[in-house]
Amino acid sequence: MEAVAPESLRRDVRVIGLVSVAHACSHFFQLALAPLFPLLRADFDVSWTLLGILVGVFYAASGITQFVAGFAVDRFGARPVLLGGLGMLAGGTVVAALAPGAYWLFPIMALMGAGNGVFHPCDFAILNANVAPRRLGYAYSTHGVGGNLGYAAAPIIGYALAAAFNWRVALACMGIAGLVILGVLATQRSYLTSHRAHDAHAQTLRGSMALFAQPAIALCFAYFVLQTMAAVGLQTFLPSALNSAFEVPLVLAASAVTAYLLGGTGGIIAGGFLAARTLRHDLVAASGLLVGASLLVVVGMGSVSMAMVFPMFALIGFATGSTGPSRDLIVRNATPTGATGRIYGFVYSGLDLGAMLGPIWFGIMLDHALGREMFYVVAALLLLAVGTVVRVRRAIVAA
């Protein structure tokens, strides 16, 4: 039975809130381990490259699962898929606290990545099925803010718990908190419904290939690969790059990540208002990426003083974050009715592919003392993403 999109503001707010909490959990657990890498590296005596590969395993599993989860959402509905994914993420974090060595973390990260892969097809299927169309721009904005708050909270909570106890206690506490949230979400059955596809043939891989091959959908996929390689590279290795390239103290360099994420949160809020008030979502997305790329070139040139590190990365985060709601509406406008799960699963698997490749690439660069060059590469990736997002609109119009 298909969910009916209600007009009730109260119901819309509740649906948006629940989905945003789930999205915050997804992003929180994505950064559950990465901020603790210096402690894990000291305990296990491993290289940055290996830790980058560990992150890559997480996102490889997430990308594969995200693609498959899109089909599951269209066939079975979003709620059971969403709850199962959160259980794998939170439970995997608890198990990671018990790992006796770095190599034991590989299967655990694969399990967590598989859980992480369900969120985008589930979240957007629920929002599109339940929230009034006129509020979707704000819904996508709130959804993005939830994710960024999850990113911002993870390093703070993880570092605080690790400093007070150790990294194992930190992971165990974070995982248990996620299981508690899972229990709360499980009680909200009527607010987590989604549309299901009626055509069984269309739900097969072969039946969906024509959808994935459409130029607009393929360009959305490419956009996510490029943009996410840049974003995850900054989130994972920004402190190390600033420290190695410009001798920025680690405390200040670590604060740059927080500034970037908080700036991104503000950008997403502003981007929600922009998305709700314009039809040219491609221009909003392209402008934010251009500003972010330009500022990263300035950073790479070494033109930023110590006092400007925090505000500079807050501004970079704001510029790139403002593109989020428009980006999500671009994908929605390219998605046929009844294919929300599959399209979002396919397109957002590009996010996981980028998140898998970025840390490996930038980890190798840092091992070869190429911290300064990392900022130029991130800027180049954002510029390539501009090209894809501009062409998406043309492809939709041509279709």
Domain edges within the chain: 9-193+208-398
Question: What is the Cα gyration radius of the chain?
Answer: 20
> What is the tens place of the pLDDT at every residue in 291-320?
999 999 999 998 888 888 889 999 999 999
Cα(310)–Cα(152) distance, rounded to whole angstroms?
14
- Residue 267 is encoded by which pair of tokens? 């950008």
User: What is the band of 5 on the pLDDT scale with cuts at 50, 70, 90?
Assistant: very low
Tokens coding 352: 């996981």
CATH class assigned to 9-193+208-398? mainly alpha
The pLDDT of residue 55 is above 50? yes
Nearest by Cα to 19 from 114, 83, 110:
83
pLDDT value at 53 more than 80:
yes
Mean pLDDT for 199-215 is 63
- For 269-289, how does the pLDDT look when each residue is reduced to its tens digit (9 = 90+)? 888 888 777 777 778 888 899
Give the pLDDT confidence score for residue 325 in this predicted structure. 80
Distance (Å, whole) CA 33 – CA 50:
13
**Residue 191: what pLDDT?**
87
Most confident option among 103-117, 199-213, 262-276: 103-117
Nearest to 127 by CA among 272, 267, 317: 272
| pLDDT value at residue 3 | 47
CB 228 within 8 A of CB 356: no
pTM above 0.95, yes or no: no
Name the band, by pLDDT with cuts 50, 70 and 90, for residue 4. very low
Q: Quick check: 72 pLDDT over 70?
A: yes
Q: What Cα–Cα distance (Å) separates residue 133 from each residue in 122, 140, 182, 389?
A: 17, 11, 28, 22
- Number of Cβ within a 10 Å radius of residue 200: 9
Nearest by Cα to 228 from 355, 143, 381, 59:
355
State the amino acid at position 110 in one-letter form. A
Cα–Cα distance measured from residue 187 to residue 165, given in angstroms and rounded to the nearest whole number: 33
What is the distance between the alpha carbons of residues 8 and 75, in angstroms, rounded to a whole number? 27
Nearest residue to 56 via CA among 370, 365, 353 = 353
- Cβ count within 10 A of residue 243: 18
Closest residue by Cα to residue 123 from 67, 194, 185: 194
Residue 84: other Cβ atoms inside 10 A = 17
Place 336 in a pLDDT band, splitting at 50, 70 and 90.
low
